[in-house]
Structure 1
Amino acid sequence: MKRLLIAAATALMMQSALAADPDTEFRQQVNAFVDSWHDDAANTRPGYWDKFTPDAVFIGTDKSEVWSYKEFKAWAKRFWDRKKAWNFTAQKRNVYFSPDKRYVWFDEQLNTQMGTCQASGVLRNTGKGFLVEHYQLSLAVPNPLMDNFTKAIQAYEAKAQP
């Protein structure tokens, strides 16, 4: 009897949690999509590229890295050819979406080979799944390091000028 009461209480608590946020399942689908997209890159699976819209934009960490889907794919070809690309795993992610759930936007903090990065993205819900419309990756620079970091960038850019 005690087990039955525990099972019933657990079921009620889970139902209550879902009722409190009816979008929990949708958020889980978004998280699963983004996690699998990152995993596709880590394993250089061709499916990574199938998760973009044809007119997607990818913005990397360097100010020159504002790419169309085709430009980004061409730039990344060398990584796919050697079967080793980037490995991003989410530390945390916030998911937001339009009332009709057709558009999703998110921000995330990531573990990467560059340390902690931050990113944001926009997904389109096709009804059959999600596609990446826009993604921007940024280095997360701790505020106490910002002055030295800014000076290093200024010195680098001054040398690059003719």
Structure 2
Amino acid sequence: MKKYFLFLSLLLLSVSCIEPKAKNTDTTKKEINTFLDKWHKDAAETNFQAYFDAIAEDGIFIGTDATENWNKKEFMAFSKPYFDKGKAWNFTALERNIYFSKDKNTIWFDELLDTQMKLCRGSGVLEKIDGQLKIKHYVLSMTIPNDNSSDVISIKSAIEDKIIDDKKK
């Protein structure tokens, strides 16, 4: 009887330690969606401090212009005048895909955004730092319909040819 009781106790203890993975993933995805939606909303409502608090101290933001590759401090300096005027940017996610590292501390995502520039793509990396999500890297890209690529290339060629030449030197 003692062996049976010991076996049953160990079995119950081991089963109680198993975490339901599907539920945990759903909760985590919900947390990430809430975090990113709030981040975008903070920009739309020009909440400068809250917006930049979401970015890790060593975070990077890459904008749509070829010259926009900023660390957090540079991005804050660029953005401050827009926030101070009460006119930053307004991005709303239309769809978002979220992926996890095995330990769930590193998350990467891509999103299709409704913006003042029409459709854009955002992609990024989040990391849990001291138990809080932080943006480590974010890339914003404008979408170009394939049928219009030639038109867009001709519009941007003069500017970007100079950048290409400078980078090759």
The answer to whether TM tops 0.5 is yes
Q: Displacement of 1:147 after TM fit?
A: 1.1
Aligned to 2:7: none
1:143 maps to 2:166: no
Aligned to 2:59: 56
Letter matched to residue 21 of structure 1 = A
CA gap 1:96/1:158 in 2 versus in 1, 3 angstroms:
closer
Aligned to 1:75: 78
Aligned to 1:6: none
1:91 maps to 2:87: no
Aligned to 2:106: 103
75-84 or 147-156, larger mean C-alpha shift: 147-156
Aligned to 2:120: 117
Aligned to 1:21: 22
CA gap 1:130/1:156 in 2 versus in 1, 3 angstroms:
same
Task: Number of aligned residue pairs: give it.
Answer: 143
Letter matched to residue 78 of structure 2 = W
1:32 maps to 2:34: yes
Aligned to 2:156: 153
Q: Displacement of 1:155 after TM fit?
A: 3.6
CA distance in 2, matches of 1:104, 1:20: 16
Q: Displacement of 1:70 after TM fit?
A: 0.2
Identity of aligned residues (%): 43
Looking at CA atoms only, which structure, 1 or 2, has the larger radius of gyration? 2
Q: Displacement of 1:80 after TM fit?
A: 1.3
Unaligned runs of 5+ in 1: 1-18
Give deviations 1:42-83, integer Å, cap 9, x for gaps.
111121111111111000000000001000000001011112
Say what the alpha-carbon RMSD is for the aligned residues.
1.9
Unaligned runs of 5+ in 2: 1-19
Give deviations 1:88-117, integer Å, cap 9, x for gaps.
000000000101111000000000000000
CA distance in 2, matches of 1:158, 1:106: 31
CA distance in 2, matches of 1:96, 1:158: 36
CA gap 1:95/1:157 in 2 versus in 1, 3 angstroms:
closer
SS in 2 for 1:26: helix
Match among 50, 63, 68 for residue 65 of structure 1: 68
Letter matched to residue 86 of structure 1 = W
